[in-house]
Amino acid sequence: AQTVTQSQPEMSVQEAETVTLSCTYDTSESDYYLFWYKQPPSRQMILVIRQEAYKQQNATENRFSVNFQKAAKSFSLKISDSQLGDAAMYFCAYRSSGAGGTSYGKLTFGQGTILTVHP
Amino acid sequence: DAGVTQSPTHLIKTRGQQVTLRCSPISGHKSVSWYQQVLGQGPQFIFQYYEKEERGRGNFPDRFSARQFPNYSSELNVNALLLGDSALYLCASSFAIQNSPLHFGNGTRLTVT
């Protein structure tokens, strides 16, 4: 079974600064997807960024980028020019590609990291 | 277009009771998944339905059941409620069963007393 670990329960950053959230995972599969989700107090889980394991290039979405290290099974999220609206709980998540016979799109989440942004 | 809608928003039940949570997916989405999020933890997968059939089940007891209707909406039922069932229940929809982005609703907060 796959596991996802986020070792930082809480992180804080000054507005306009850069912060990196860590995530490691364990899997025996070679093809899969990794995600970062943001959950603000409104409770809705919002997709921040997605990475396909077969792509060597790190995904980037505006101020959000990832450092994907497949051999090390590491998937960190970097938030540049942090804004007050970035404050939320961030979850790292894993999903099988289905190539190994998995018939559904189950997401396996980490424990989450609470990000505080100071003005 | 409306996003994923869940009802009710909040619910308070007593131990031993039964509860039904409802989810309407985004129009055109055929897959609905349910997750349980205990306070301070990441969501845990409960079920996935696609085209009205159960396509995946997480490690939850038989007290948990679900179904998907012809219009692709879904219900999650929990029988014989325990205090430990208190959680945020999230519904997510996607167009296909695999390799489609999941879109989450705002969840139903269930409190069992």
pLDDT digits (tens, 9 = 90+) for A59-84: 999 999 999 999 999 999 999 999 99
Tokens coding B95: 């167009």
Over residues B46-59, mean pLDDT: 92
By Cβ distance, the residue of A43, A91, A104 closest to B107 is A43
Contacts of B69 (CB under 8 A, 6+ apart): B52, B75
Asked if the model's pLDDT at residue A104 lies above 80, the reply is: no
Report which of B69, B65, B89, B75 is spatially closest to residue B23, judged by C-alpha positions: B75
Report which of B43, B93, B75, B26 is spatially closest to residue A110, judged by C-alpha positions: B43
Interface contact B41-A91, CB threshold 8 A: no
Mean pLDDT, all residues of chain B: 94
CB-based contact, A43 to chain B, within 8 Å: yes
Name beta bridge partners: A108.
A94
Confidence of residue A99 (pLDDT cuts 50, 70, 90): low
Interface contact B58-A45, CB threshold 8 A: no
A106 SS3 class = coil
DSSP letter, residue A59: P
CB contact at 8 A, B90 and B107 = yes
Tokens coding B37: 């999020």
B66 SS3 class = strand
DSSP letter, residue A52: E
Confidence of residue B1 (pLDDT cuts 50, 70, 90): low
Residues in B touching A107 (Cβ below 8 Å): 33, 35, 43, 45, 102
Distances (CA, A) of B100 to A105, B31, B91, B97: 8, 10, 15, 7
By Cβ distance, the residue of A4, A45, A104 closest to B90 is A45
Asked if the model's pLDDT at residue B113 lies above 90, the reply is: yes
Confidence of residue A43 (pLDDT cuts 50, 70, 90): confident
Within 10 Å of residue A15's Cβ, how many Cβ atoms? 13
Q: Which residues from B are below 8 Å from A when comparing CB atoms?
A: 31, 33, 35, 40-45, 48, 50, 55-56, 58, 88, 90, 92, 94, 97-102, 104-107, 109
CB contact at 8 A, B35 and A104 = no
By Cβ distance, the residue of A44, A50, A105 closest to B106 is A44
Residue owning tokens 């219900």: B75
B18 SS3 class = coil
Distances (CA, A) of B35 to A15, A19, A30, B42: 33, 28, 25, 9
Asked if the model's pLDDT at residue A100 lies above 70, the reply is: no
